[in-house]
Structure 1
Amino acid sequence: MTFREFMQENGYELQTTFWNDFSIADRFGLSAVQDTFNRAFEEWKENYKYLTELVLVLNHKVWQYHEKRSDYATLYNTLYIQADQYAAENLKDEELSYFYDVTD
C-alpha cells in the first residue's frame, strides 16, 4: 500500500507533494533529505495544514526506514521531533485541534 493509499484509507486527502519530495531526496542522500526538510519547513511552517502533513510524512518515513536504513530513520526521527515540537508549541485553538485530530 502506498502512502497516498494509506492516507486516503484513513480519510485524509493529501494536500502537498511532501511525500514525493522526500522520496526523491532519499535517492540523493541524507544531506538532500535535510535540505528538503529545511526548505519545506521554512516555507510552510506557518501553514498549519501543510505543517501537519509534513509531520505525517516525516513520521511515515521513520517507519519506512526503521528496519533497513537506521541512518535515514534516525534523521527522519530528528526532523519529525523538530516539526512536531514546533507544531505543539506554536499552533493554537482550531489549528492545534486540527493537528492533533489528523496526527492522532
Structure 2
Amino acid sequence: MTFREFISENGYTVQTTFWEDFTIADRFGLSAIRDTYNRAFKEWNENYKFLTELVLVLNHKIWQHHKSHPEVAALYNDLWKQADLYAVENLKDDELNYFFEVTD
C-alpha cells in the first residue's frame, strides 16, 4: 500500500510535507535523506502529530524502496527505528494513544 493509498483508505489527513521532503531527498542520496530526517526530527519531535506522521512516512519509505534500493530502505529502517523508539518512550497518555492508533 502506498502512502497515498494509506491516507485515502484510513481517512488520515496529511499535516506535513514530510512525504514530499523525503521524496526530494531520495533523488540526492543517503546523506540528503539523513539530513532531511535530522532537520525534521529536530524541528518537530515535540509535536506528537507531526512526529507520528514522520514515523508513518519513514515506514512507507522503507516499503517503497525495499526491492529497488535496499541501501535506501535500510537507512529508512534505521531512521524509522529511531523515531518510533523516541515516540514510544516520550509520548504519554492521549498523545501515545494517538500515535498507536495512527501507526497501527
C-alpha RMSD over aligned residues: 1.1
TM-score by length of 2: 0.96
TM-score by length of 1: 0.96
The within-5 A match list for 1:24-43 is 24-43=24-43
The within-5 A match list for 1:54-69 is 54-69=54-69
Secondary structure of the equivalent of 2:46?
Answer: coil
Separation in 2, partners of 1:51, 1:26:
20
Number of residues paired by the alignment? 104
- What stretches of structure 1 move > 4 A for 4+ residues in a row? none
The within-5 A match list for 1:83-94 is 83-94=83-94
Q: Tell me the CA shift for residue 3 of structure 1.
A: 2.3
Q: Percent identical across equivalent pairs?
A: 71
Q: Tell me the CA shift for residue 100 of structure 1.
A: 0.1
Q: Tell me the CA shift for residue 4 of structure 1.
A: 2.8
Residue pair 1:15, 1:50 contacting (<8 A) in 2 also: yes
Q: Which stretches in structure 1 are left out of the alignment for 5+ residues? A: none
Separation in 1, partners of 2:83, 2:2:
23
